[in-house]
Structures are given as C-alpha cells and as structure tokens.
Structure 1
Amino acid sequence: MRAKAVRMYGEDDLRLEEFELPKIKDDEILVKIMSDSICMSTYKLVKQGKKHKRAPQNIDTNPVIIGHECAGIIVEVGEKWKDKYSVGDKFALQPALNYMGKLDSPGYSYEYCGGATTYCIMPHEVMELGCLLPFHGESFFEASLAEPMSCIIGGYHANYHTNKQNYNHAMGTKKDGNIIILGGCGPMGMGAVSYGLYTENKPKRIVVTDISDARIEDAKKKISPEEAAQKGVELLYINTASLEGPYKTLMELTNYHGYDDVFVYIPNKSVVELGDSLLAFDGCMNFFAGPSNNDFTSEINMYNVHYTSAHIIGTTGGNNDDLMEALELAAKGKIRPAVMVTHIGGIDSIADATLNLPSIPGGKKLTYTQFDMPLTAIEDFEELGKTNPLLKQLAESVKRHNGLWNGEAEKILFQHHGII
C-alpha cells in the first residue's frame, strides 16, 4: 500500500512524500484518513524535534507521521479485531495513549501512524486501549475535531469543588456557577463556550475574555449572547485590554462573588495571576494552556489556597469517555465543533501551515488529506469564488450555515475531488 504523508525528520524539518506501508499485522488495522485538523501541540513538536518528550531519537532516519486530530474509514482489519471492527466503518482517534508507562502517541511517535497522511496503520497499542472509536455522524471534520473537543470536555470534568463536611470532592464545574474563560476567543476557547452551554453542570454565567475587538466580534457571530440566553446561560464577551482595572470589572459581573471555575486558555503570566485573583470561595482554576517554555511560572495567592479553599489544576488531553461524549454530542448537533474552524486546506498545505501556525490568524486549520488544496480562510471564499467555481459553491454553503464550515460544504469538496 502506497501512502503520502507529512513526516518529521527533525526540528522544522517536515516533508510531504510518498512511501510504502508494510502489510498490517494480526493486531493492527489499516485506515484511510479523510480529515486532520492541525493542533498547536504539533507545532510545538516540530519546533523541538528530538527534544520533544514523545519524539523518537531516530527520526532523522525513521521519520514520524505528524497529526493526531484525524478521522477516516477502516480499510483492512487484522485477524485479532475482526469481531469488533469492520471494513468501511468510520472512526475517530483518541491519541492520548497511556500504554505501559510509555509516552508514545499517534502523530508524535510512530513511523506509520499519524493524521497527516492518506493511509496509515493503527498499531496494537491504539487497538488494545480501545482508542480507535466508532463515529456515526455524517461529517468527517466533526470526528477530527472531537479530539480537541475531548480535551475541552476533559477540562470541564477534571475541575472539582470541595465542602467542609467531608472529603468527597464534587467533580466537574459548579452547577449554576460562574465560569470565566480567559483568552477564550480562539478556537479552543470557542469550543469551551459551545460545550459550556450543554454540560450537565450548566453554569448560570460564562464570561469570555480577549484583547482584540475583532476576535470578540467574530466570537459573538459564532456563539451569540442571545443564543446562550435561550439555553439559560448569560454569555458575556469582555475586552480586558480596554479596561483600566480588569479585576474590578470582571468581579462586578458576579456581584463580587468571584468565579467558581476559571479556565486559562493562554500561557501568559499576568493572565494566570488575574485568574487566580478572580477565584470565588472554593473556586477551581484550570491551567488549560500548554506553555512551550518548561520554565514557565506564575505567582498564586497561597493565603487563599489555605483560607478560602482556592485550588489549581492543569489538564492536557482527554480520555476515551471524553472523546465518545464529544462524538455523541457532535453527531446529535448539540455542540458545534465548526466554531473552531477558520481555514480549509489539502494535504499539500499541512507542512507549511504547521511550521507557521502561530503567525496564521484565525482558529483551527482543517485539512483533507486525500487531495491537494491551498490553505484558504473561510472568510475569503466569497471573494475568491468570483473566479473559482468550487470556492463559490463553498462560500454559498458557508453562508447558509451562519458563516461556519459544515457537512454540506465537506460533501461539495469531496464530490469536486471525486472522493465520495
């Protein structure tokens, strides 16, 4: 089986190339990748190369396939798994393996397993841990985005609250509480807002901060305060850069109760310290943003830790249950992963987009690996569609779906390239 993939040979060394996949073993599965969204974690991997904790030391001679937010179709099933998986089934991948204490993970560690490829082999670790999950929805992009959504869901579930009567912690965000998502107008933050409107412990208020009016206005179009109000949640977007005293304004929004759950979505010292100061009694702050600097530190108020039960956690990735929840909610239309997507591209766009990810504005870069297509901003479809019939069709579809990428647009793209 010939495959085409984006492979990493070292720091900043990504190559799109064709190679031969070996025949699968009895405990492996061959899959066809249909979609793969680009994660900032992959950018961090590429910037570090062999220094990354998940990267093998022989990548210069045995390169790894990058990408882990992927979805596709099962092509061939090893003998061991024929009672559980069938050719033609759709799947999503949970890449956060925890196998015998090893850090190996698809998209980081495997020569023949990753998302930025036409075909790949799911190794026995993925299969043994049940990390190849069935997807029953229509659109592959929703299955790809289930992985970042699972990280968001995992963050919500990992927060906890205590009481003074016993030591039974109540897991999850506080029901009818105040949530603040600091630096939340990026793709992951918007995913967090989307999930916050449907979480079992629904809050009464979600405050989302950013320092850009343009990003805030874009966020309001994707998830409006009016839509949130219909679901019983007060949603507020605040530009903290325009405030002389962010602390005072943000606390006033809660009548000085403070925030029961604080999510920090950017690795910034002052933002972390602001989040710490905003915690309510028994508040929980989740440091969700992963810093690339392993010396990153911030000050926290230890007086509040001792006397007001303030507590701080950090989460990275999600588990299988989180991913299955994301898949189920997306398939039912209860969450909208599309709020994260701002760019669409083909397999030929992945290397350059990954290498330059922080400098490309917008949110998630969603790629389809079975064909070539320049990375294109969704907001540019209409203008480019004046001379490009395909982009004209995509622009019309996006307009019918509140400016968001959608299943209809995905089908248009596939039909144009003769994929399905």
Structure 2
Amino acid sequence: MKTKAVRLYGVDDIRLEEFELPEIKDDEILVKIITDSICMSTYKTVKQGKNHKRVPNDVAENPIILGHEFSGDIVKVGKKWQDQFKPGQRFAQQPALNYKGSLASPGYSYKYFGGDCTYCIIPQEVMELGCLMVYEGDSYYSASLGEPMSCVIGGYHANYHTNKVNYNHEMGVKENGYLLILGGTGPMGLGAIDYAGAIEKKPKKVVVTDISNDRLNRAKQILSEESMKERGVELVYFNPNDYEDDEKALMDLTDGHGYDDVFIYAPVQALAEQGNRLLAFDGCMNIFAGPTDKNFSAMINLYDAHYTSTHIMGTTGGNNDDLLEALDLSSKGLVNPSLMVTHIGGLDSVADTTLHLPEIPGGKKLIYTQIEMPLTAIDDFEELGKDNELFKLLADSCKEHKGLWNSQAEQILLNYNN
C-alpha cells in the first residue's frame, strides 16, 4: 500500500513524499499513524544527517522516515504476533529499542518505520523487546506524548544518591530534598515539574529557572505555585535576570544547603557549570538536554566530586517501564501531557516545522498525520475561528480546558476532516 512520509536524505534535506510500502512479513505489523509530536531530537538529527549516531551512512540512497513520538491504530498483524495484537487496537510505542546493542530507532534509522507518515511497518525487534503496547486511553496524542514523558520519568529514576555505610546507590531524586531544573519551562521541563507532584517520594522544593518571562508566565498559568503546593511540593519559578547575584539567590532558596538534584534542561555550558556549583553534599546532576555539539563540555569541580561526593550523569530516553508509568499516570489524571502542547498541524507542516523548530516559540508541536493543516498555535484558534468553523470549534473546546489541547478537541479535528 502507499504511504506519505517525511523522509531524511541528509543535512537539512527532508522531503514529504508518497511511496509504496512492501507487504509485511510474518513477524511485522502494519500500522496507521494518527499523531506524532515533533521532538528537538529530530531537529538535531536533521542538522547532523548521516553524522548522527542513529542515522545510517547510506541515508542519501535509502532515506529514513522521521518522527519517534507517535501513536495510531494497528491495521494488519503478521502471523507471529496474531495471538498478541489485533487489527483495530490503538497502540503506543517505546522508540528507545537498544536491540542487541544496536542504536537503531524509529525516526532515525528505518526506511519504513517512523512517526511522520500515514502508514508504516513495525519491525519484529519492536515486538520482541515489548516496545509495542496496546493503549486504551481516550486520545491518540496522550499516547504520543507518553514518549517524551517517559524520558522525563527516566531522568528522575536514574538520578541516584549514596551513603558511606554500605555504598549502595539509592535510585531516584532525594525525598524531601531540593530539586533544581535549569532552563526548565520548555515542554519537557513542564513535564518534569508536573511529575514532581505525582511521585510518592516527592522533593520538598522544586526551583525552575528560565530567562524568558513569556515562558515563565505560561508555566505559572498552567502549573501554578499554588496548585503544586496542594500536591505537596513548594514550587519556585526563577528568572536569573531579576537578580544581581542569581547564584547566591538560588543557594539562599535552600538556606545554604544546596541542591540534592539538578537537571540541566538546556544544553548550555554556563548552566552545567552553575548547576555543578550549586550541588549539595552527595548531590546528583543530570545532563538531561542532549547537545548537538559532539565536543560539548564544561568545567566541573572535581574537588567537590572527591570531598563532597557530588556526581554527574546524563540520561537519554526512557525504558518500557517508564512509558507504562507515563501512560498510567496520564490515564489517572495524575500528570497532564496537554500542558506540553502549544501548536497543532498536519503532515504537510512537518518538514518546515522541523527545519525551523528552534525559531518557533512555545512547546510541543503536535502533528495529525492523516490531515493537511498549517502549523497553528492554540492561542491563535480564537482569532482564526472568526472566519473558520473548525478553528472556532477547537477554540471553544480548548477554552473549556484552561486553554489546553484535549481529547475532545482531538475528536473534533479528526471528525471534521472525515
């Protein structure tokens, strides 16, 4: 059958094309993609082309389908998996495969497997690893956003703390500790704030920094300090530009203790170095944001690493358990993936959006691959709705949900185009 897909050929060379998919093998599954959210990792991939570790060297001759945060419906199941999966089931998937040491992942490595398309073929290793999951939630976009949320969750789980008694590592952020998220009001940072209020072993204080008042104000509207207090976490939003000595002000927020956990949510050398200086005894700093520069580095205080047991690590992606946790928390209303989304578009908007992603303000750009629609900010729905029935319906729905994308809006969009 034919599919339309946005494919990578090389650096800054991505194309929306229609082509024929091969017949699936007995160990493969054909799926219809409904949603894919565009990740900054995809932008970095486009900027690196075949130099990216996950992209094949022959991508110019055998282009790959972009997109790895996707969901949709199962269409056809090969014989090997027919006892486990059925046509018509909705699915979520974990793209961090790690199959037999390979770095291959959807959105980076496969000719026929990725999210920015109408149909694709899921290869056998995905099912073998348990990375294809039946999803019974009420929206496709929640399943798509389960992937970025799983990355956030993976970062929380991977942080660790030690002791001098038995040297065991206690996994996770420190309970009742101080947590700092530097550069943290982007979509992933908002997910990290939301998750802090959902976990059982909560930090007592979460400090989130950003130099953009627009991003800080939006964060305060959708994740207010008051709402987080009701969930058992003291939340502080912090703009370093408001302080003559921002580092001292950050330290004062801990009464001089320092931060038990630090997440770097923007790949900026100055942030990494500042986060390192603000670590408490046995503090753990997670370089969460992936840099594009392979030589990205920063000055780290090794004296503190030796004498005060500070430690530095990084995480990328999540695992199956992280994704299952993300989907479960979302279905129970304990986290809200909608707060990540600021723009909606169709498959025809993917190439231009991806190429210019850093220049487009706001959070996640959510794509509905079965429709054509220019990338549109949710904040613009009301104005566009004055002359367009669809945007009026979408604007009314989002108003009912505190200005956020929601399952009702998704149904309106999908039904309107059928």
Deviations 1:220-271 (A, max 9, x none): 0110111101111111100012211111111111111111110000011111
1:211–1:242 CA contact under 8 A, matched in 2: no
Deviations 1:289-336 (A, max 9, x none): 101001111011111111111111100000011011111111111101
Q: Which residue of 1 aligns with 2:145?
A: 145
> Separation in 2 of the partners of 1:234 and 1:399?
28
Deviations 1:35-86 (A, max 9, x none): 0000111111111111111111222221110000000110111100011111
Q: Does residue 11 of structure 2 align to residue 14 of structure 1? A: no
> Separation in 2 of the partners of 1:221 and 1:312?
32
State the secondary structure of the residue aligned to 2:5: strand
> Separation in 2 of the partners of 1:249 and 1:302?
24
Q: Does residue 291 of structure 2 align to residue 297 of structure 1? A: no
Amino acid aligned to 2:26 = D
> Separation in 1 of the partners of 2:125 and 2:241?
46
Deviations 1:85-144 (A, max 9, x none): 111111111111111111111111110000000000000111111111121210111100
> Separation in 2 of the partners of 1:262 and 1:153?
14
State the secondary structure of the residue aligned to 1:68: coil
Per-residue deviation, 1:287: 0.5
State the secondary structure of the residue aligned to 1:98: coil
> Separation in 2 of the partners of 1:88 and 1:52?
35
Amino acid aligned to 2:97 = L
Q: Does residue 224 of structure 2 align to residue 224 of structure 1? A: yes
**For residues 14-413 of structure 1, what are the structure 2 equivalents within 5 Å?**
14-413=14-413
Amino acid aligned to 1:140 = Y
Amino acid aligned to 1:217 = N
Give the 4+ runs in structure 1 shifted more than 4 A. none
Amino acid aligned to 2:47 = K
Per-residue deviation, 1:214: 1.3
Amino acid aligned to 1:68 = H
Amino acid aligned to 2:332 = K
> Separation in 2 of the partners of 1:183 and 1:17?
36
Q: Please, which moves more after superposition, 65-74 or 387-396? A: 387-396
> Separation in 1 of the partners of 2:412 and 2:288?
35
> Separation in 2 of the partners of 1:311 and 1:61?
43
State the secondary structure of the residue aligned to 1:112: coil
Amino acid aligned to 1:106 = P
> Separation in 2 of the partners of 1:353 and 1:228?
33
> Separation in 2 of the partners of 1:18 and 1:266?
36
> Separation in 2 of the partners of 1:265 and 1:180?
10
Per-residue deviation, 1:145: 0.5
Amino acid aligned to 1:400 = E
State the secondary structure of the residue aligned to 1:145: helix
Q: How many residues align structurally?
A: 418
Per-residue deviation, 1:379: 0.8
> Separation in 1 of the partners of 2:59 and 2:280?
47
> Separation in 1 of the partners of 2:58 and 2:274?
42
> Separation in 1 of the partners of 2:234 and 2:381?
33
Task: Structure 2 unaligned segments of length 5 or more: list them.
Answer: none
State the secondary structure of the residue aligned to 1:412: helix
Amino acid aligned to 1:92 = A
Task: Structure 1 unaligned segments of length 5 or more: list them.
Answer: none
Per-residue deviation, 1:215: 1.0
1:185–1:208 CA contact under 8 A, matched in 2: yes
> Separation in 2 of the partners of 1:44 and 1:270?
21
> Separation in 1 of the partners of 2:388 and 2:326?
35
Amino acid aligned to 1:294 = K
Per-residue deviation, 1:200: 2.6
State the secondary structure of the residue aligned to 1:4: strand
Deviations 1:198-226 (A, max 9, x none): 12321111110000111100110110111
**What is the RMSD of the two structures over their aligned residues, measured on CA atoms?**
0.8
Amino acid aligned to 1:83 = D
Amino acid aligned to 1:253 = L
Amino acid aligned to 1:307 = Y
> Separation in 1 of the partners of 2:47 and 2:354?
10
Amino acid aligned to 1:270 = A
